[in-house]
Amino acid sequence: MGSGGGVGEETDMTAPLHFITFEGGEGGGKSTQVGLLRSRLEGEGFEVVLTREPGGSERGEKIREFILSGQGKPYGAFAEAVLFSAARIDHLRETIIPALQRGAIVICDRFADSTRAYQGILGEIEPEVISALERAAIGENRPTLTIILDIPPEIGLARANARREGVGGAVDRFEGEDMEFHRNLRRAFLDIAKQEPERCRVIAADRAPEIVAQEIWQVVSKWLSPKEGESGKDRKQGSQYG
């Protein structure tokens, strides 16, 4: 690929068939669940690439550090959205698209829906602007399954605080927002799920991790079954990106 322009301008790929994203508010257990799903899929014989946003590539991780440290907040929601989009372009080029081309299943902890929710809906950026950024950043390289882990913010933030205290970490840019922000964030993700029911599945995340994981597996295995009648090895050989 060339070095200029967005991913959407540089590739004629159709939407990935094996690109799963996890979304939702803080403390929903995304990191736990993406790891459990990867293990389950690998046990079934699939190659799995686990990644995250912001980040997922060398340059993306540098932008992640800048944003989550709060250094981008003074510049406003639009500037943050542009930074997320820049990180996403590099992430797609360096990590996601190469993995899909070799037939792997990609699981990403957050993707474009987080920009819609955090900067678009809560940052009050016009939907047309967010859509334009999204088209430039990802083009047709969109997830075909999104798991939204839904949790009341009071529970989610309590979990996030407990986790952070356990490792001695600092409050990041978004965890530090007030409760009303997080209630609105929850509604934003649920609205996205209502707008795109074919792609999005909402899973109640205020339950034991193993129960949540089993429900996610039921969704993912059903999602795979219409497309896959063969083993993970056969599936890789038959990938449209090979």
pLDDT digits (tens, 9 = 90+) for 25-49: 999 999 999 999 999 999 999 999 9
| pLDDT at residue 161, as a whole number | 82
All structural domains of the chain, each given as residue ranges with its CATH number in brackets, are 13-234 (3.40.50.300)
- Report, in angstroms and rounded to the nearest whole number, the Rg of the chain calculated over CA atoms: 17
- Alpha-carbon distance of 50 to 62, in angstroms, equals 18
Lowest mean pLDDT segment, chosen from 124-133, 158-167, 192-201: 158-167
- Give yes or no for residue 237 having a pLDDT over 50: no
At 62-81, the pLDDT tens digits run 999 998 888 988 999 899 99
**At residue 198, does pLDDT exceed 90?**
yes
DSSP 25: S
Phi and psi, residue 79, nearest 5°: -60, -40
Q: Give residue 201's Cα distance to chain centre.
A: 13
C-alpha 116: how far from chain center: 11
Residue 10 has pLDDT above 60, yes or no: no
pTM: 0.83
Alpha carbon distance 200, 203 (integer Å):
10
